[in-house]
Amino acid sequence: MQIRKSRGPSRRDVIKTATAAGIAASVGPFFHATPLSAASTLKILQWSHFVPAYDTWFNTEYVKKWGAENDTEVVVDNINLALIPSRAAAEVSAQQGHDLVMFLSPPSVYEDQVVDMKDVYAECEKTYGKPVDLAVKSTFNPKTGKYFAFSDSFVPDPVNYRSDLWGHIAMTPNTWEDVRVGGKKIKDATGTPVGIGLSAELDTAMAMRAIMYSFGAHEQDETGNLTINSPQTVEALKFVKALFEEAMTPEVLAWDASSNNRQMLAGRSSLVLNAISVTRTGENTNLPIHEKIALAKAAEGPVRRIGLEHVMDCYVIWKFSQNIKGAQKFLVDYINNFGVAFKASQFYNFPCFANTVPDLKELVATDAKAVPPDKYSVLQDVLDWATNVGYPGYSNAAIDEAFGNWTLNTMFAKVATGYDTPEDAVAMAEKAMQAIWAKWKERGMI
């Protein structure tokens, strides 16, 4: 697994969000998995998991065992998910940092700064077969033939809704039109709004794309050509404006990635798009409301039923890593233990190598904590309706930059609030995205 040396990034390649010193101050204490006398060190940066039981297992059980078996001091650094992009940018700027960094969406813009993961994928395929298409579309660049990241898992993004409120109006959120009509009825009757973000954060980015894709709108086509300015995008914008005006409240304009969790568990939303962290938190903290929260597949739009993954776990190994081979081995060994990881995440992290959890459908069919016990069975066919950022194409560098700049989030928020017309907003988004696409085409990345 040889790599070549790379030149450092230019300033324009780095996302300018915070200085390295400022980011370092926000990071929690290191977790050391083995004594400091170990032969080598492996430094891992990843988020503080929304299901704390997973971090407990990963940090205190799995990593500790792996470190002892490989004579390695493993340092796990868990930080808030919103800080990962800026921390990664600081490490690339300094050309030093962690050996493994886990992003929550495809980090395509860093392709020149990372090790090709083809050997890691190949090693895992020997035992478990091909990864799911969602993983390949999120970590592979067909233009360059490089795997710029490795995805061990993805997180489904079902509809979380209040079964009591929706039952009272004799509806379920099966389609996006149901969400608008039913959400308005519930808000008018009870004052409880739909809670879908319209701000500069991860959940909004996923939700707006889910709506777009279900309406037949896309940022790009299958080959990576920009297609944002379309009648379908305009219709999706008009729908979100109606949904916001009829069934939502302005507070969603300032939400962060955990706001929808908090709102639903506080009984202040009738519906949110989120992972099962909402219901798991309710169950694990004995909040009675968890019994009233039901799950549904991604809502169907005028063209198709489709949703984004809630987050896509994408590990990268920097070319400036001090322990590239150790990082590669760690990922392969982790996949060998993913069946345990799936259970430790309480069904949150779904496998990118399906054969690592061959009994997944049976496991999610019944759950001792869930009310009703089959609540999580809705996830049995998640790969039939979950897709990648950049669908129907790959998650390329242009897609990643537009995602990180919250271009689509801003477009939808401006229309929802009446700041721009749908036509003007999509034209402005197209102009901004044309510059992004031109840059990455010039660099030979798309």
Indicate whether 181 and 293 sit together in one domain.
yes
Residue 380 covered by a domain: no
Indicate whether 213 and 237 sit together in one domain.
yes
Residue 394 covered by a domain: yes
CATH number at residue 304: 3.40.190.10
Indicate whether 94 and 217 sit together in one domain.
no
Indicate whether 133 and 164 sit together in one domain.
no
Residue 275 covered by a domain: yes
Residue 67: strand, helix, or coil:
helix
Residue 114 covered by a domain: yes
Residue 319 covered by a domain: yes
Residue 408 covered by a domain: yes
Question: pTM for the complete prediction?
Answer: 0.89
Q: Which domain holds residue 277?
A: 159-308+386-442
- Give 160's strand partners: 272, 295
Residue 366 covered by a domain: no
Residue 365 covered by a domain: no
pLDDT score at 234: 98
| Long-range contacts formed by 2-8: CB under 8 A, 24+ apart | 3/115, 3/116, 3/319, 3/324, 4/319, 5/319, 6/112, 6/113, 6/319, 8/95
Indicate whether 182 and 210 sit together in one domain.
yes
Task: For 60-120, list the strands marked E by DSSP.
Answer: 72-79, 100-103
Residue 307: strand, helix, or coil:
strand
Indicate whether 332 and 294 sit together in one domain.
no
Q: Please say which residue of 338, 358, 378 terminates a domain.
A: 358
Indicate whether 188 and 272 sit together in one domain.
yes
DSSP assignment of 124-161 equals: HHHHH-SPPHHHHHHHEETTTTEE--EEEEEE--PEEE
Q: How far is CA 267 from the centre of its chain?
A: 25
Number of structural domains, the chain?
2
Indicate whether 230 and 259 sit together in one domain.
yes
Cβ-based neighbour number of residue 221 at 10 Å: 11
Indicate whether 260 and 404 sit together in one domain.
yes
pLDDT score at 14: 37
Indicate whether 118 and 166 sit together in one domain.
no
Indicate whether 412 and 398 sit together in one domain.
yes
Burial, 159: exposed, middle or buried (Cβ in 10 Å; 0-12, 13-18, 19+)?
A: buried
pLDDT tens string, the chain, 446 residues long: the values are 332 333 333 333 433 333 333 333 333 444 455 555 678 999 999 999 999 999 999 999 999 999 999 999 999 999 999 999 999 999 999 999 999 999 999 999 999 999 999 999 999 999 999 999 999 999 999 999 999 999 999 999 999 999 999 999 999 999 999 999 999 999 999 999 999 999 999 999 999 999 999 999 999 999 999 999 999 999 999 999 999 999 999 999 999 999 999 999 999 999 999 999 999 999 999 999 999 999 999 999 999 999 999 999 999 999 999 999 999 999 999 999 999 999 999 999 999 999 999 999 999 999 999 999 999 999 999 999 999 999 999 999 999 999 999 999 999 999 999 999 999 999 999 999 999 999 999 999 99
Given a contact cutoff of 8 angstroms between Cβ atoms, the answer to whether 20 and 124 are in contact is no
Indicate whether 206 and 88 sit together in one domain.
no
Cβ-based neighbour number of residue 368 at 10 Å: 6
pLDDT score at 38: 74
